Every structure is written in C-alpha cells, then in structure tokens.
Amino acid sequence: MALRRAYRGAGRVRRLGLPVFCSRMVRRREGSAAISFAVSRLRTSPMRRPVAAAVSMALNGKPGVSERTRANVMAAAQEMGYDFSRLLDRKQPSGTVSFIFYRRQGAVVSDTPFFSLLSEGVEAACKQASCKLRVFSLYKSDDVEQELRDIVISGCSGIILLGTEMRREDFQPFEKLSLPLVVLDVYFDEVKHDCILINNIQGAFLATDYLIQRTKSQPGYLRSAYPIANFDERADGFYRAVRHHGLSTSKSIIHRLPPSIEGAFADMMAILESGDELARCYFADNDMIAIGAIRAMQAKGIKIPGDVAIIGFDDISPAAFMEPPLTTINVPKQYMGGAAVRRLLERMREGTHLPVKIEIGTSIVIRKTV
C-alpha cells in the first residue's frame, strides 16, 4: 500500500507538514517504492515527523500503523538492505514475565541453594532482556485457575512455570492459558509446551558409574521418600549404570529418606539404630539427602569414604564446605533459569509454536566422599 494511501492523499501529507517535494514523491510512487523512499530518507537524513514516525513505528514493531503498512515497510527495508541488527541492539522492554513456583507439598521446592540459583538465572536473563519479572507461589490447595486469571489480568506477557513437584493432573489449569508458557524442571509426554529440564538420567548414570569404578562394589541407593519426576529419572539412570556393569539391580540396598538435610539425618539415624545392613557405597537422589545421611553415619562412627562412599546430585553450595567435601553431580542452575527466559522470549516473538524439550547436561564434581 502506498504511503499516499496510508495518509489519505498528498493534501493530508502537506497538512501534516511534509516538504512539497516529499508530497510529490508520495503522489508519484505506489506500494513498496514509496515506502522504500521513506525508508531511505529515514536512513540518510532527518525527516519531518509524520512519515518518519510511521516508518519508525513499523520497523520497531510499535502500534500506530496498519499491519499491511508494517508488512510493506519491512519488505521494502529488507529489499534495500536495511540493517535490522540496529533494532535488535536496542534494549526495548520485552514485557512482563511471571515466574510461578508450583508447590504440591513444599517438601522439594523450598528456600534451598538449588532453587535460589535457578531464580538468579531467571532474574539475570530478564534484566538482560529488559523484561519486568514478577514471582508467584501457587499451592495445590489454592484455587489455581482463579490465581492464574489474576496473574494474566495483571499484565503478564509470558509465564515460566517451575513444575518440580508437579504431577500430570496438576498441570490441567495451565493448559487453558493462551499466553506463551515455558515449563521448568519437569516434563509430561502429553503436554504441548516448551520444557527446560535437567538431564537426570545422564547425571545419575555418571554418578553411579563413578561409584562402581572407584569402589568395585554393588552400589546402594539413598532414594527420596517423596516421588517427583526428577527422582524417577535419576532412578532410571542409577539402574542403567548398575546393569551396564553387569550387576543385579535387585541386590542394591535402598533406603528411602526425606529430601532435606534434617529429614534425611533423622531417618538415617533410625536405620542405623535398627541395625539394617549398609551398602559399601551409595548414590543419593540429591545433595540434601547425601549430607543428612553422611552426618548420621558420622554420628555413629562410620568413616566417609573409608567405610561408606556417597555421591550426591545438584552441587549445592554446602556440598563444597562440609567435611569431607561431597562428590556430586553439577547442574548449571543459573544457566538453566536463563535458558527458560530465552526460550520464553522466543515464544513471545514467534507467530507459530512448535514445542521443544531442552535437556541441560550435567557433569561430575570429584571431591572427597568417594
């Protein structure tokens, strides 16, 4: 569409204060030719406000011009070799991101170093993208649908959902959302949303494989008493490594402990006092379980790693400062949070949606407990 049509004729262009020569050019040029002229003028010299403003609004994705005019401006700019990186370099606000912590029972998602660093990654990526960030906590006992309506109405551009404790049925209210949504730390086969995950199977396999190689013995398993998807995947990785070494999975001693330092300590003390058989080495579902179990064993005079070797998962900060320092699996927590924000921003810019599943790799951190 010609700029002449966009401004309802050359007379209107004159009334808006454009030079006569520009008015004539608009009258003569139709379609992308007129827009190309406007773009070239925008690039090479100051234009008076009306046409320049229209082209600027079109290039920067701002309201105030029709979609047809915007499309024509963009096409003409591309044809003329306009440097679109200039637009990308400008740190325009990208909207408001709502970061929702979903707590089913709060036994796993709590104020721990793991989730603090994950949140720092989300916050840093939002700041870099000039997004506003708001943080919410939703509980299973809440009216989740009403809470989500309130979040959307308050001016939300997209949602990052921390679903560590979620089960499939908990996700139903979120499926009704029309906003861009990225799910963090959980994955369901039936859910058609983007997911950012830890590669739990890989991490648990690395840990168990290292245990077996170092101790030459059947590994035990300090398993979480609270079932979540992450721990189920870690169990898969543990048993894969056991089978990989030609060992029987049925011979691995399993203790189920709460996924907190205090809970694991109390329950491990009860196991030790009952005289239950111990394994020579253990893989723990997370560092909290490993730390609690080690403290209980040390309280009973068991030497780590001389009598029992233990490896954790997550690499939280206390793991490096305990005695002895905990061998564990590192999860790049801040990177993971940032990856969720970057994927959400892509979703907010895309016209179509093809769900992706991104798994963040892990690595072993060798210290002194194995």
For 296, the enclosing helix (H) or strand (E) is helix 287-299
Q: Does residue 260 share a domain with residue 319?
A: yes
Q: Does residue 283 share a domain with residue 182?
A: no
Domain end: 64, 89, 114, which one? 89
| Domain-located, residue 11 | yes
What pLDDT band is residue 353 in, cutting at 50, 70 and 90?
Answer: confident
pLDDT surpasses 80 at 39: no
The number of domains in the chain is: 3
Q: What's the pLDDT tens digit per position in 246-305? A: 999 999 999 999 999 999 999 999 999 999 999 999 999 999 999 999 999 999 999 999
| Domain-located, residue 318 | yes
pLDDT surpasses 70 at 10: no
Lowest-pLDDT range, 143-147, 211-215, 326-330?
A: 143-147
| Domain-located, residue 369 | no
**Cβ pair 290, 326 in contact under 8 A:** yes
- The long-range contacts involving 237-241, CB below 8 angstroms and separated by at least 24 positions, are 237/200, 237/201, 237/202, 237/203, 237/204, 237/205, 237/206, 237/207, 237/208, 238/204, 238/205, 238/207, 238/208, 238/283, 240/201, 240/204, 240/205, 241/204, 241/205, 241/207, 241/208, 241/209, 241/212
Q: Does residue 357 share a domain with residue 321?
A: no
What pLDDT band is residue 22 in, cutting at 50, 70 and 90?
Answer: very low
- The secondary structure of the chain in percent helix, strand, coil, rounded to multiples of 5, reads 50, 15, 35
Quote the crossing angle between the two packed helices 200-215 and 229-244, to the nearest 10°: 40
The dihedral region occupied by 30, where left means phi > 0, alpha psi between -120 and 50, and beta the remainder, is beta
Q: Does residue 45 share a domain with residue 32?
A: yes
pLDDT surpasses 70 at 319: yes
**Six token digits for residue 175:** 């499926």
- The mean pLDDT value for 140-158 works out to 90
Give the other-Cβ count within 10 Å of 332's Cβ.
17
Q: What's the pLDDT tens digit per position in 112-141? A: 788 899 999 999 999 999 999 999 999 988
**Six token digits for residue 35:** 């827009």
Question: Rounded to an integer, what distance in angstroms lies between the CA atom of residue 346 and that of residue 180?
Answer: 9
Question: Which structural domain range is residue 270 located in?
Answer: 200-330
| Domain-located, residue 226 | yes
Q: Does residue 320 share a domain with residue 204?
A: yes
Q: How far apart are the first and last CA of the chain?
A: 71
Q: Are strands 132-139 and 96-103 parallel, antiparallel or unpaired?
A: parallel
Q: Does residue 60 share a domain with residue 208?
A: no
Domain end: 61, 89, 117, which one? 89
| Domain-located, residue 367 | no
Quote the crossing angle between the two packed helices 113-128 and 333-349, to the nearest 10°: 40
**CA angle at 158 for the pair 96 and 334, rounded to the nearest 5°:** 80
User: Does the N-terminal peptide bond of residue 324 adopt cis geometry, omega within 30 degrees of 0?
Assistant: yes
- The long-range contacts involving 231-234, CB below 8 angstroms and separated by at least 24 positions, are 231/259, 231/285, 231/286, 233/200, 233/201, 233/204, 234/200, 234/201, 234/203, 234/204, 234/285, 234/313
Q: Does residue 41 share a domain with residue 124?
A: no
3-state secondary structure (DSSP) of residue 6: helix
Instruction: Write the CATH number for 301.
Output: 3.40.50.2300
- The mean pLDDT value for 42-53 works out to 53
Q: What's the pLDDT tens digit per position in 169-196? A: 999 999 988 889 999 999 988 888 999 9
**Cβ pair 285, 224 in contact under 8 A:** yes
| Domain-located, residue 366 | no
pLDDT surpasses 50 at 14: no
- The mean pLDDT value for 79-87 works out to 61
| Domain-located, residue 321 | yes
Closest CA relative to residue 279, chosen from 333, 240, 238, 340: 238
At 65 the pLDDT is 65
Q: Does residue 304 share a domain with residue 344?
A: no
**Cβ pair 9, 23 in contact under 8 A:** no
Domain end: 38, 61, 89, which one? 89
Q: Does residue 276 share a domain with residue 241?
A: yes
**Residue listed under structure tokens 């029972």:** 105
At 9 the pLDDT is 38
Q: Does residue 339 share a domain with residue 277?
A: no
pLDDT surpasses 90 at 53: no
Question: What predicted TM-score, i.e. pTM, was given to this entire model?
Answer: 0.73
Q: Does residue 241 share a domain with residue 339?
A: no
Q: Does residue 279 share a domain with residue 174?
A: no
| Domain-located, residue 56 | yes
DSSP annotation of 169 reads G
